[in-house]
Amino acid sequence: MARCAGDVDRFLADDWQRRAAVYRAVAPDGFADLLTLDDVDRFLTTTALRTPFFRLVRAGERIPETSYTRSGRAGSRDVAGIADPARVAAAFEDGATVVLQGLHRWSEPVMRFVRDLELRLGFPCQVNAYITPAGAQGLELHEDPHDVFVLQAFGRKRWQLHSAPGEPERSALDEQVAPGDTIYMPAGTPHAASAQADVSGHLTVGVHVGSWREVAAAAWTASAADPSLDEPLPAGWHLDPAAQAGELAARLRAAAGRLEATDAGAVLERRADRFLSGRAQLARGSIAERAMSLELDDSTEVRRRPGSICVVRSEGDRVTVLMGDRLVRMPAWLGPAMRSIADVDGFLIGDLHEHVPDAGSRMVLVRRMIREGLLTAVPEGLPEAGPR
């Protein structure tokens, strides 16, 4: 988030959910690590990229997929919707905008960027990229139903940013963004992008912010699990609704009592658990690691995989470890060891002796965490990892 908005505390206090704002490049290389024009060229010409992971639009109108895709075969199956490089390039030259969709699912740099953003905000994010040729029409005035960060990756683009919902009425901001600049817009902010003099590429990060209504609805659903609420209305209730009002009032009072007794902390914790066990795993290298013999001893250094999640919850005689895309349950006595693993970037397996005295048990635990994608063994010669 610091790469987007600079001072994160100031951003969250002054702008988040309050107003649209533009932040000039924080890092000298901008967002070149996330997307370049060469990346776009490579995706479309050498990777057999398929729809719906990309599409072409012109002045906001969708272009028929058949005009820029082809069919092929993969093994014994016919495959449609493959990017046809020559026709994509021709359409782009003719003013079509290339839209790369769902980059948070298939671009590793974007996945890692989004993971950091998600864990800071606590909300799921999605990313599309828009690559517009020089002189082409930009987006017409519209608004998005979610919060948005616009990351200018290359080229320049001019934007009009109107008042966000709840923001004091003001004249539209007219801003030109350059590589590395960021625009933030709360949900519902009307905005438009103008034509530009050179090729422009930006990433749109959609942040799907949760609401108290969603949390309250979950609490109500749990409190309304009383099977008496599933009993049918009496036949003929519609002839005299007022006669049934007392029965409904009694059931509502009972439901309200159950709702009032709900453990609010537990409701929020369950929501947090779903979030922390519903993120895509970032486990590059795990396939290669499984393909080789894994020799471990107390002198082996292991590290947390970049972008990995490890949150430990105690549940009586068990602990639950949330790992992004899954949860793993273990005996409670392993809780201190897992919390130790969660608190550092890397360690020697022998460092776990205080929590897991038996060497064999240490190897079993670390080996499992490697298999689960949380840890990776460090090849000899790499610098030691430090504390988180």
Q: Where are the domains of the chain?
A: 2-207, 226-262, 286-377
Does the pTM exceed 0.85? Answer: yes
Task: Output the pLDDT for position 19.
Answer: 96
Query: In sequence order, what DSSP letters do the residues of 247-305 get, joined into one string?
Result: HHHHHHHHHHHHHHTS-HHHHHHHHHHHHHTSSPP--TTHHHHHTS-----TT-EEEEP
CATH number of 286-377: 3.90.930.40
Task: Output the pLDDT for position 322.
Answer: 94
Q: Which residue bears the tokens 């600049």?
A: 181
Alpha carbons within 13 angstroms on the beta-carbon side of residue 149 total 28
Task: Output the pLDDT for position 61.
Answer: 82
Q: CB of 35 within 8 A of CB of 110?
A: yes
CATH of 2-207, one of 2.60.120.650, 2.30.180.10, 1.10.290.10, 3.40.1080.10: 2.60.120.650
CB atoms within 10 A of CB 258: 16
Task: Output the pLDDT for position 384.
Answer: 46
**CA 388, CA 386: separation in Å to the nearest integer?**
7
Tell me the two tokens of residue 94: 């003719």
| Burial classification of residue 169, based on how many CB atoms lie within 10 Å of its CB (0-12 exposed, 13-18 middle, 19 or more buried) | exposed
Task: Output the pLDDT for position 136.
Answer: 86
Task: Output the pLDDT for position 160.
Answer: 95
* Consecutive 10-residue averages of pLDDT for the chain (388 residues): 93 96 87 97 96 91 93 93 97 95 96 95 97 85 96 95 94 95 97 88 97 93 85 93 93 90 93 92 82 88 92 92 92 96 95 96 95 87 44
